[in-house]
A and B are shown apart, each in its own frame.
Chain A
């Protein structure tokens, strides 16, 4: 059973003019088997939510709580959160020169499971995951994210999602910068993950496009650091037609 509960989360980021509040009381519950889409205009704090859940040091939690299956996530280090079952697919995956993808994947899998994966099945699993995401097997010898195209970076994130098998995946604008073919491949990967038992997905996106391929159970409109409105997938259709203007003028 997996359940991510975010309660009245307040987050600040340090700026030259002192701390600035980005998240202003976010409350959200993602139960197992559910996919929640968070949609919102630029600068609404969507990515801050993703990075705060993952524990990026740039963000300071000033109030509220995040729990995963009852465990206090905010008291854990970044790696402990990952080992507890959280996964963040990043909008801008980071280059790690000289570290091969295969070494990286094996090191991560070993860390998550607490033991090294069995070599024979692991090689098969990795090759399978790469193949399903239309990544050449030689991908494993390349340095992590170095020289990857935008699409390769995102597909590599989803390959990690498949292999590391978290409880809850937070996908931060995984659809941005993808052409339609790459978007489909990525969406299929996410859908394979959703079919697994008891997984939760928090899908952060600026566009409705990806929701044609990954059907959410709930849609939340995120404006000015909090959830402005929640609904079913029909809310996405409404946003597609009307845009965010209504919420933005209300926020002003």
Chain B
């Protein structure tokens, strides 16, 4: 399914755009927890999420003392530390986030400390900043706030690496200064029982480049909202996602590119694979082109590869448009099983069926992994894809030589 600019224009002529955004996709925000009711699951923004498995994170679960260790490296020129009190409070809303869920409002109001990653203006950070979050007790319900501040014309890569067992609600706020070039990668490589509810909100400065990559393999329930707004014209956001759901897993990714400034760009590509009974993935891609956002370009794409029976992939692109004066807007969504013709072609060259399936899945993810553009994690992602494949597609064969050294 693809929407072209022309069809968008003709739709606009039929129905004049409202002056103010009134959309069920985006409930009104508030910092006051009391303004947000506990969700029932019938709300548009909650209807896919199995609330029972959230252990109350969406409602009023106690935010306990953290059982998730948090460690990081500190490349030269960067300040990274836990801050509390007034300094932490001042960071709430750094990204322009006004919470539109009860849980995010609670995180901003109740969590006493923030992890601050502060990159001064004009600083080019020579290596990725890697924050390791390793959960140790899934029975502890907890919450965290991360604030990333990238000064004008700075350049940095941040990797948030989630492992172990946690039940955690996390708000990550990202402020990308004018002309900065920032990549934020969040890897959800949790143990099977983890529950992770997260909201990543970025504000992209004038002429800045922002790349966000959400990579989800593990966990019982992982839901991430990756949102972006623009602080001035010329900003560009690339929203990437890779997920692999196994039996019983619920992995939900939502993006929201809110074009709040003219001549901004958003480009989203999310790719997922599903295998095993009751593996469930959800992708909801929201794009809003505000009246002010003339000359913008947006494209969003979601592709799912269903490897076994019994899986469900939901994929919903939403495009709301208040001005037709744009460069382009489109979306595509496809969910499919293996292509028989691809498998036949590979097998007709002597490659076994399983090896052919493996090639196709690696191929499916390869381009995306390269697009993430962080060489130090590429091998790990390929290895993890391989390990996921070993659970079903390749469970009867050993490792075959030809992989991993793709030149």
Contacts and interface: CB of A to CB of B under 8 A. Distances in A.
Interface of A: 54-57, 77-79, 81-83, 87-88, 90, 93-100, 102-104, 106-108, 110-112, 116, 140-141, 143, 160, 164
A87 B407 CA distance: 25
B44 interface: no
Given A93-B345, A94-B344, A106-B402, A99 B360 contact: yes
Contacts of B22: none
Contacts of B356: 79
A98 B353 contact: no
Interface string B337-357: 001111011111111110110
Of the four ranges (under 10, 10 to 19, 20 to 34, 35 or more), the interface on chain B belongs to: 20 to 34
Given A96-B359, A110-B402, A77 B351 contact: no
Contacts of A97: 363-364, 367
B401 A116 contact: yes
Contact of A88 (B348, B367, B400): B348
A57 B349 contact: no
Contacts of B335: none
Contacts of A104: 346, 349, 359
A99 B351 contact: no
Given A79-B351, A82-B350, A102-B407, A94 B364 contact: no
25 contacts: A57-B340, A78-B344, A79-B349, A79-B356, A87-B348, A95-B342, A96-B342, A96-B359, A97-B364, A97-B367, A98-B364, A98-B365, A98-B367, A99-B360, A99-B363, A103-B407, A106-B402, A107-B355, A107-B359, A108-B350, A110-B402, A111-B349, A111-B355, A141-B407, A164-B350
B367 A100 contact: no
A154 to B, nearest CB: 14
B366 A98 contact: yes
A82 B359 CA distance: 17
Top 6 nearest A-B pairs (CB, nearest first) are A98-B363, A108-B349, A82-B350, A111-B350, A98-B366, A99-B363
A93 B367 CA distance: 21
B364 A82 contact: no
Contact of B402 (A94, A96, A107): A107
Nearest to A146: B363
Given A107-B402, A141-B407, A78 B363 contact: no
Contact of B351 (A87, A100, A107, A116): A107
B37 interface: no
A87 B348 CA distance: 7
A98 B346 CA distance: 14
A100 B359 CA distance: 10
